[in-house]
Amino acid sequence: MNSHIKRWITGIIALPTIFAVLIYGSEMAFTALVVLLVLGAVTEYNNMVFAEGLYWEKGEGLVIGVLIPLAAYLGGIHLELAVVTFSLIIIFLLFLLRFKGGSISIAAPGKVVFGFIYIPLMMSYLILMRGLEEGTVWIFFTLVLAFSGDISAFYVGKSIGKRKLLPDVSSGKTVEGTIGLLGGSIAGCVIFKFLFFPALSLVHAILLGLVGSVLGQLGDLCESTIKRASGVKDSGFLLPGHGGILDRLDSLLFIVPFVYYYNMFVIK
* pLDDT tens for each residue of 185-205: 999 999 999 999 999 999 999
Q: What is the DSSP letter of 166?
A: E
Q: What is the Cα 199 distance to its own chain's centre? A: 26
How many angstroms separate the CA atoms of 119 and 142, rounded? 17
Range picked from 93-102, 162-171, 216-225 for highest mean pLDDT: 216-225
In this prediction, residues 91-117 reach a mean pLDDT of 89
pLDDT given for residue 193 in this prediction: 97
Phi and psi at 174, nearest 5°, equal -120, 165
How many angstroms separate the CA atoms of 200 and 194, rounded? 9
pLDDT given for residue 238 in this prediction: 73
Is the model's pLDDT at 31 over the cut of 90? yes
Chain mean pLDDT for the chain = 91
Evaluated on CA atoms 150, 155, 158, 161, the torsion sign reads: negative
Q: Which amino acid is at 133?
A: E
pLDDT given for residue 1 in this prediction: 62
Is the model's pLDDT at 160 over the cut of 80? yes
Percent of the chain residues topping a pLDDT of 70 = 96
Phi and psi at 226, nearest 5°, equal -65, -45
pLDDT given for residue 172 in this prediction: 82
Q: Predicted confidence band at 53 (pLDDT cuts at 50, 70, 90)?
A: confident
How many angstroms separate the CA atoms of 245 and 234, rounded? 9
Q: What is the DSSP letter of 165?
A: E
Evaluated on CA atoms 105, 109, 110, 115, the torsion sign reads: positive
- Region at 211 (left for phi over 0; alpha for psi -120 to 50; beta for the rest): alpha
